[in-house]
Structure 1
């Protein structure tokens, strides 16, 4: 399941306000194993991800949805920018986000 499984476990653990050690105790393992799963250094099966997420008090739903190539289209647009253009774009977006936060 690659590192996505570890990301899901880490997110569920954090939302449940559990430490790696606490999750490890619930799962019948030790903290370094949870750390390796979360970091992606050790592969984790989908069944184990579901079990760990449930031990955090959540459930995992997996759905098939139509593909959307918007990420690829955005990546193609950004690939054509120079380094300076990327920095300017980032600065502009940062200003816009700051303005939105200030308005709320």
Structure 2
């Protein structure tokens, strides 16, 4: 959980619109303790991450899935592209992500 738990707590807090102080109050700790946790200066145990998420009305859903080789296949296809083709692909994907984020922010 090292590193990931910090990010999960910070992301959940932002999604629910809580301040560090509000989370600290709900968790029975201090704002500075939450700041240290979110910045990675402390590493929360898995149980603590779950507890903090649940205080905010969030939960963590983990799944074990069989691994496939789709990432490797995609990497091989990308390696066949020229530098210019890779850059053009990158620009298209970036534009798509920006469009998605713009749609989400407008909603």
* Cα 1:38–1:79 shift into 2, 3 Å: farther
Aligned to 2:43: 43
Question: Aligned ranges for residues 1-104 of structure 1 at < 5 Å?
Answer: 1-75=1-75, 78=78, 85-95=85-95, 97=96
1:36, distance to aligned residue in structure 2 (A): 2.3
1:81, distance to aligned residue in structure 2 (A): 6.4
CA–CA distance in 2 between the matches of 1:9 and 1:18?
11
1:20, distance to aligned residue in structure 2 (A): 1.1
What root-mean-square deviation, in Å, do the aligned CA atoms of Structure 1 and Structure 2 show? 2.9
* Cα 1:17–1:88 shift into 2, 3 Å: same
Q: Unmatched 5+ residue regions in structure 1?
A: none
* Cα 1:76–1:34 shift into 2, 3 Å: farther
